[in-house]
Amino acid sequence: MSEASSPVTLRRALAGADEYLARRGIERSRFETELIFSQALGLSRIQLYLDLDRPLEPEERGRALELVTRRGKREPLAYVLGEWGFRRLTLKTDARALVPRPETEILVERALALVEELDAPRVLDVGTGSGAIALAIADEHPGARVVALDVSAEALALARENAAACGLEIELRLGDLRGTIEGEFDLVVSNPPYVLPEEIETLEPEVRDWEPREALVGVGVPEALAGRACELLVSGGRLAVELGERQQKTYAARLGDLGYKEVTITPDLTGRERVVEARWP
């Protein structure tokens, strides 16, 4: 049988997709190809390897091809797969909200440590996006009463779907952190938009061209958060904020000026300063 008329085996399809993604600038092209095929065929990566010589059905090939093409356009892998792991949860991910990042897991770690002594901490997650932080806290501290705020109705709809899929109860609120927010909280936690407008062009296409711009850039939003949080925190309440590496020290100084105490900076797993936290006196 000639090459052209022979059925396309999984092995050949994987090799072709890997080569295509590598040409499109995807660094871990083979790994991503395997994840995409796993998703398209409903098989684990191990099963793919056990089945390498199996011919693909036309509809299987079509499904995989569609996802590979999307990834080739540098759409984030998490959007292409439609789901992404964050702490113990698998969250639905699409263009309505930022893809939850591994470094944000450190913020959740710190947030949980700050409320571990409380049986029923009142927590506000500002800029919840997919709901990642709010849901991870609700999951890992079952007593926590979590309110999740976002200015984007689309992001909030995704967070609602994620809450339902995870079977976790959080209160979702649509609004701007600079507007009215009802309630008193033991912890205000946030991964606010902190990319500077002049940095946008330097970002990877996945981020620059696909993730919601208002989730990335929010001039003055982290600063407004510091001011709003002290009106919402009870005495002794905590603020924990994820920021870019070069913004931490200025932000920590600002918190000190506003009257926050015990201001500390925690690095992420790569040693980059990542989370600023403080206690409201």
Ligand X SMILES: C[S@@+](CC[C@H](N)C(=O)[O-])C[C@H]1O[C@@H](n2cnc3c(N)ncnc32)[C@H](O)[C@@H]1O
Site mask, ligand X, residues 238-277, x = CB under 6 A?
Answer: ----------------------------------------
Closest-CA residue to 102 (of 84, 124, 115): 84
Identify which of residues 57 and 231 has a Cβ nearer to ligand X in the complex: 231
Pairing of strands 273-279, 233-242: antiparallel
Least separation in angstroms between CB 9 and ligand X? 39
Contact pick of 64, 121, 139, 218 for ligand X (by CB under 6 A):
218
Is residue 147 part of the contact set for ligand X (CB under 6 A)? no
Residue 133 touches ligand X, criterion: CB under 6 A: yes
Please, which residue, 66 or 209, has the CB nearer to ligand X? 209
Buried b (16+ CB within 10 A) or exposed e, 52-86: eeeebeeebbebbbebbebbbebbbbbbbbeebeb
Distances (CA, A) of 85 to 13, 95, 117, 184: 26, 16, 27, 31
CA geometry: angle 143, 240, 90, nearest 5 deg? 60
Give the angle 203-89-120 at the CA atoms, nearest 5°: 110
Q: Which CB sits closer to ligand X, 21 or 124?
A: 124
Min dist CB 278 to ligand X, Å, is 19
Query: Cβ of 272: how many Cβ atoms within 10 Å?
Result: 13
Query: 29, 68, 79, 129: which one contacts ligand X (CB under 6 A)?
Result: 129
Least Å distance, CB 128 to ligand X, is: 5
Nearer to ligand X (CB atom), residue 114 or residue 155: 155
Contact between 222 and ligand X per CB under 6 A: no
What is the closest distance, in whole angstroms, from the C-beta atom of residue 74 to ligand X in the complex?
19
Instruction: Decide: 241 and 252 in contact? Cβ < 8 Å.
Output: no
Cβ 186 to ligand X shortest distance, Å? 19
CB under 6 A: which stretch of 5-13, 74-82, 96-104, 232-240 binds ligand X? 96-104
In the bound complex, what is the minimum distance in angstroms from residue 27's beta carbon to ligand X? 22
Give every CB contact of residue 2 below 8 A, 6+ residues apart in sequence.
Answer: none
Q: What 8-state DSSP symbol labels residue 75? A: -
Q: Is 7 helix (H, G, I), strand (E, B) or coil?
A: coil
Report the site for ligand X in 153-192 (rule: CB under 6 A).
155, 176-178, 191-192
Q: What is the C-alpha separation between 134 and 54, in angstroms, rounded? A: 43
Q: Site residues (CB under 6 A) for ligand X?
A: 97-98, 100, 104, 126-130, 132-133, 149-152, 155, 176-178, 191-193, 214-215, 218, 221
